[in-house]
Amino acid sequence: MLRVGLTGGIGSGKSTVARTLGDLGAVVVDADAVAREVVEPGMPALQAIRERFGDAVFGSDGALDRPALGRVVFTEPAALKDLEGITHPAIWKRTAELMAGAPDDAILVHDMPLIVEKGMGADYHLVIVVGVTEEERLARLVRDRGMSAEDAQSRIDAQADDDARRAAADIWLDNNGTREHLDQRVRRIWAERLEPFNENLIHGIRARRPDALTLSEPNAEWPAQAERLIARLRKALGDTAVAIEHIGSTAVPGLLAKDVIDLQVGVRSLADADEPAFLEALSRKGFPRIGGVAHDNGKDGTEWPKRFHGSADPGRVAHVHVREVDGPGYRWALGFRDWLRADPEGRREYSELKQDLASRVLSTGDYAEAKEPWFDSVHDRVVGHEGHSPG
């Protein structure tokens, strides 16, 4: 089951996106709907709200006056914290029930306003953020929901800013345009990313780039993409992973690279990486094992064993190299990355090598093999960099 977190600032239009995804076949769990459900008449949370906030946040019919409650909690941080302490346990209990009821092969979309604020991105395979400028959201809240400008601004100010949302977004869905444009974009994301990702996830298939070699200019988004993947790996593996690092060319600022995020998981023993629980945790998180025992070409004339996983996400190809933290392959990967980051001449040589090999129209497999002699030639420089001992 592919789990997608859908979020965006108030007034961004994420509910419109959720409806379209539901029409396409997603199982949508709407956090706002659940929040309303747990404070319906007769629910325990409703009485607790009355005891904390008094009759002023209730209507004459005894139902919760949500706008009145909002005016209190969105201007008083302590009041908001108290409200969350009352409602969140009930919300999460009901949310878990709804998610557990979804079919195993479903694409489950959690329409959740506070994914960024609560640091929940690693709970999902993907996070979609619906992005709209603050000025446009303010105008929509006043025009479409009848809020005062002051009330609308206070709600906007209580949420994360766009920088934080962009850092959390695997998919940034711009909704400053027309509803038709938004609908087209959502349908394209569904067909090109969500459905294929779910199929790969179900069948344990990794996403791959075309075999023909293509190098990309340095991308400022690579580090943030790596951090999101690292957070998901940490969530899956817990203490079994001693360390998780972004390695390879996309971890070196300014370096040409294949558009592939390489990550290294350090474990105490490769036996840990062969445990069924380890394999299941990574597979469920979208990182299936590829093959059995894998090896790196060692710089000491031997092969350095590792395990290899790939990302099932067709929109973000990633390789996960699992190595023992005390092993030479683990130390080499970190040492080589750090040397390239620190040595402009090394980066220049490596870039020229990459461009030369790319001009020969090699396959990605041939490209990897053709770089090995150069790796061997710079081994002493890597080892000597600030006392590193990568192998």
**Bind-site residues for ATP:** 11-16
Q: Which parts of 31-132 fold into alpha helices (H)?
A: 31-37, 44-53, 66-73, 77-100
From its phi and psi, is residue 206 left (phi > 0), alpha (psi between -120 and 50) or beta? beta
Number of H-type helices and E-type strands within the chain: 18, 10
Q: By the 8 A CB rule, do 111 and 10 touch?
A: no
Using alpha carbons, select from 311, 313, 281, 319 the residue that is nearest to residue 126: 313
The CA-CA-CA angle for residues 117, 165, 23, to 5°, reads: 95
What CA dihedral angle connects 87, 93, 98 and 103, to 10 degrees? Answer: 150
From its phi and psi, is residue 3 left (phi > 0), alpha (psi between -120 and 50) or beta? beta
Question: Please, which residues bridge with residue 108 across strands?
Answer: 3, 27
**Identity of residue 244:** I
- 275 φ, ψ (degrees, to nearest 5): -65, 140
Q: By the 8 A CB rule, do 346 and 378 touch?
A: yes
Number of C-beta neighbours around residue 9 at 10 A? 23
Q: Residues annotated in the binding site, as ranges?
A: 11-16
- Rounded Cα gap, residues 194 and 199, in angstroms: 9
Residue 178 burial by Cβ neighbours in a 10 Å radius (0-12, 13-18, 19+):
exposed
Order of strands, sheet of 261-267, starting from the edge strand that comes earlier in the sequence: 243-247, 261-267, 318-324, 303-310, 294-297
